[in-house]
Amino acid sequence: MKFVHIADMHFDSPFVNLSDRETLGDLKRLEQRKVFKKIIDYIKENNIELFFISGDLYEHQYIRKSTIEYINELFKEIPDTKIFISPGNHEPFLKNSYYNKYNWNDNVKIFSSKFEKVDLEEINIYGYGFDDFYCTDCGIENLNIENPNKINILVIHGTLDGANLQEKQYNSINKNTLIKKGFDYIALGHIHKMQVLENSKIVYPGSTIALGFDELGKHGMIVGEFIDGEIKSSFIPLAETEFVEKVIDVTDIISNDELIEKINSIEMDNNQFVKIILQGKRNFEIDTYELYKLLTKERIIKIKNKTKIKYDLNLIKNDVTLKGIFAGEMLKRLSKENISEEEKEILEKAIEIGFEALE
């Protein structure tokens, strides 16, 4: 029996923090539609029996009815495929949600906040869905497989072994508890980076398309098959665009014009959105907003300035001025044993602000 597993599509995400370019959000939302159509076409062409969507299919706050209708029309194209959706923290099963009030196609099963089991001939599908934007306890400890002789699958949105308070608010599940339950495949969602654990039995497919620069690399879907009780699965990339970071060291660059030439000469593919990270010791002031105006490559959508002013503290400390006294004091602090990187960064920023104030 063959399946497709996706999660974290986030249909109609506003992408407000992605770029200053107004059209980029529209381009990414169009990509969401195109990629979802690719998935449905793959399911049709390969006679996939099961389709698992492990939460955050859409954004509750921003989703348009037209997008829901687009999704459901595609579901109608695969009537022989059973679709199982586990609502996540971005689109919980609320009273006024489309999961609750929309008339979905007959092949769609949407799980609620009580564990449910769907009996199929060879497989039992268990599922759970958020009913609010937070979930601190889904009650996984009380869930037991009824028929271990069948293939048993769990579809759920959540965090494995949530370590901090924020993670624990998004259905933190103990991995060892999950393993002991004995599921043959656990279709997870919530973590946007693909993770395959426990001999491919516990799987995060990652976000279906990259949603920002914190999601570098390929994105897509998991496809798999159960053969004689064994799982064979693989990852298929789908996203039409990819986020990449390019680093430029400005230490040996002596002018703004030279920096612009350097940025404009960077090689990039047509399917890439690029963030430029400037680092090193700068010889001149860098205004990122002015840089944007002079860029020739539209694929560069972010510039992050992580440079530091080039100061010779050992030279400046000899000055009989406030700057000299300040430089000497900062050198002492930077020379302390066991200074952490965080402390060093704070001091370097303090040096920069201090020298600007003493000009």
Residue 116 DSSP class: E
Mean of pLDDT values over 105-114: 97
Of 46-50, 164-168, 280-284, the one with minimum mean pLDDT is: 164-168
Mean of pLDDT values over 49-60: 98
If asked whether residues 331 and 350 sit together in one domain, one would say yes
264 is in which domain, residue-wise? 243-358
If asked whether residues 94 and 220 sit together in one domain, one would say yes
Is the model's pLDDT at 79 over the cut of 90? yes
If asked whether residues 218 and 93 sit together in one domain, one would say yes
Condensed to tens digits (0 to 9), the pLDDT of residues 318-349 reads 988 998 999 899 899 999 888 898 898 888 88
Collect all residues with Cβ–Cβ distance below 8 Å to 157 and sequence separation of at least 6: 7, 54, 55, 56, 86, 87, 88, 89, 128, 129, 130, 170, 171, 188, 189, 190
What angle (nearest 5°) sits at the alpha carbon of residue 246, between those of residues 12 and 300? 50
If asked whether residues 172 and 309 sit together in one domain, one would say no
If asked whether residues 43 and 165 sit together in one domain, one would say yes
If asked whether residues 247 and 189 sit together in one domain, one would say no
If asked whether residues 220 and 261 sit together in one domain, one would say no
- Three-state secondary structure call for residue 83: strand
If asked whether residues 323 and 224 sit together in one domain, one would say no
If asked whether residues 248 and 233 sit together in one domain, one would say no
* Domain count for the chain: 2
Condensed to tens digits (0 to 9), the pLDDT of residues 224-245 reads 999 887 889 999 999 999 999 9
CATH number of residue 48's parent domain: 3.60.21.10
If asked whether residues 39 and 143 sit together in one domain, one would say yes
If asked whether residues 274 and 353 sit together in one domain, one would say yes
CA distance 135 to 187: 18
Q: What is the pTM of this model?
A: 0.85
- Domain end among 185, 211, 237: 237
If asked whether residues 54 and 110 sit together in one domain, one would say yes
- Domain end among 237, 255, 279: 237
- Domain end among 212, 237, 262: 237
Mean of pLDDT values over 117-136: 96
